[in-house]
A and B are shown apart, each in its own frame.
Chain A
């Protein structure tokens, strides 16, 4: 029997591995530079990600003491990965969290208070930044604040009529469907649990419902049930591409196949930059009340950081007016921690910007008031029950009564 001919190959791989491994870790460059890491989902986004990286690079070039390395991670697993790393004593130095995860990290002592470094009085923080204070202490500043409004593709709307009520939305979405087009799109699958939650919050908040009143859960309050019933009516309307994930239906919107969606200002910004030929417009979401969900993504500093000063130096840089302005430009229709007025030119070129900005006073974080820390568990219960309504044909009231019962039992634990 002849000798195994691949032994040399294996040895070569081993040598290559041995040679490459030690150089693998991103070790701070020479000249006494401190390297810190900054993780966020936004760095993975088409177009926006690259521009955000160059924004961070501007900081790296502005001084020679600190080097910030960006880490882009997917939305779906971002919090899981961060929490595993932080719990294990590691993780990036600076993290852009979503609110829901921020509220989990604060009570666990996983992010540092800002008070020693950042004084509120030194900055013109916008109102939503107050949500980033826990027991009077600030644990983050907004990296991105993004509202939800209705985006539409006027070319696909019959007679150009823009819906102002939910019934109109249903009718117009139906009339815009057919011939390979869809009138409306949203998420309704467990595989996109977090996105589904955002879309559901818009319906429920729009109908005047809230998940909690600060002390009690209100999952089966009449307004919540109305919102869930509306979600179901849309699901059954035949106007939506059922089961399509956000990446697909946003792309369909981009390609002129979807007429209307309710989406955040970041998405509007991406369409504007990446699909310049898409002439979309925006209008307030057509629900009985103006309340809609809010993406509030804070910059936080990991309590495990060994470079606290460097991390806060970067945060301070990020809060300087000109850097805030650049950031706001990159983020699209979102806004940043401090109040940065839009330029008249921008407002004229992007008519949807004003609609997004005007939504701010009615924006509500996608949390369960009074149970912020436990929102992920409540989210799971609520979504499972709503799926029973959508797919199992369960009556919305019955489903939400059950949700309330399950949730109350769970919260007693």
Chain B
């Protein structure tokens, strides 16, 4: 697109940024607008900084901090477990030929087609037998079932790009196959690991259907369920709801900013290339 005239290109970028950013801005402005002003015929386009107390109130009156902590544990646990489970299978799919490889590849992909709503009843029964209902562990296990295949897929793509010669040298030095993956391959695919971590983390952070059903205690509630609880409720002020939506969104964005520089390069190396 270098060929486009610069002013046109720049205005296109600005338009794109405006569209991408507007709902965030609007969430923020709404959170800082008192109820009486929200019901006005002309919307209020600028935040009223004097209303910032709504954020303190949210933390005081609503267990937002607990929700965030629970979401963080679920997202972090999902990320860790997904990467831990996926690494060796990704290596095997990349490097080895073995009977059943095709079936496993297809099965991995097929899991992406399963809606949570369909699995929630059988998983509830399974977790009941395992006696882990109403724990965050249950959420981590359930979420990982959806993230592992994507992570395997992406990591496999990255390992495909690692030259085998690097491994040969270590192998001759007497390194075990597992040690090889851990010490040689893992550091080389670090950016892709970050890209995969982002996907797994977002899934865990956002997940709603399992979090609503598999956990009942209020002390274990995640932010998605806590926030969804305001939909259609009695008279909760909209600016309070938006402040909580904001509080829930910001950590995900911060996490993303933290790892974003790895994401494009990770995707370049990763399996999304097909």
Contacts and interface: CB of A to CB of B under 8 A. Distances in A.
Q: Are chains A and B touching directly in their complex (CB below 8 angstroms)?
A: yes
Interface of A: 1-6, 10, 13-14, 16-17, 20-21, 24-26, 37, 39, 44-46, 69-77, 81, 84-85, 87-92, 180, 191-192, 195, 245-248, 250-252, 254-255, 257, 266-267, 270-271, 274
B230 A247 contact: yes
Contacts of B233: 44-46, 74-75, 247
B39 A180 contact: yes
A88 B213 CA distance: 11
A164 B134 CA distance: 51
B220 A14 contact: no
Interface of B: 35-36, 39-41, 72-73, 76-77, 79-80, 83, 120-121, 124-125, 128, 133-137, 140, 186-188, 190-191, 193-194, 197, 212-213, 216-220, 228-238, 259
A69 B217 contact: yes
Contacts of B76: 10, 13-14, 16-17
A147 B12 CA distance: 57
Contacts of B232: 74-76, 191-192, 195, 245-247
Contacts of A76: 231-232
Nearest to B37: A255
Contacts of B136: 17, 20-21, 24
B236 A247 contact: yes
A25 B218 contact: no
A225 to B, nearest CB: 28
B235 A4 contact: no
Given A10-B79, A85-B216, A255 B35 contact: yes
- Most chain-A CB neighbours within 10 Å: which of B79, B134, B190, B216? B216
Contacts, number: 154
A39 B220 CA distance: 14
A251 B212 contact: no
A37, A90, A180 — most chain B CB neighbours (10 Å) = A90
A21 B40 CA distance: 47
17 contacts: A5-B190, A6-B197, A6-B259, A16-B73, A16-B76, A21-B135, A21-B136, A26-B217, A70-B218, A71-B216, A74-B230, A76-B232, A84-B120, A90-B128, A191-B232, A250-B234, A251-B235
A286 B238 CA distance: 31
A110 B219 CA distance: 25
B238 A4 contact: no
A71 B217 contact: yes
Contacts of A73: 229
Given A25-B135, A251-B35, A255-B36, A13 B229 contact: no
Contact of B235 (A2, A10, A270): A270
A271 B235 CA distance: 9
A14 B80 contact: yes
Given A1-B188, A4-B186, A266-B234, 9 more contacts: A4-B194, A21-B135, A24-B220, A39-B216, A69-B217, A74-B232, A84-B124, A90-B216, A250-B235
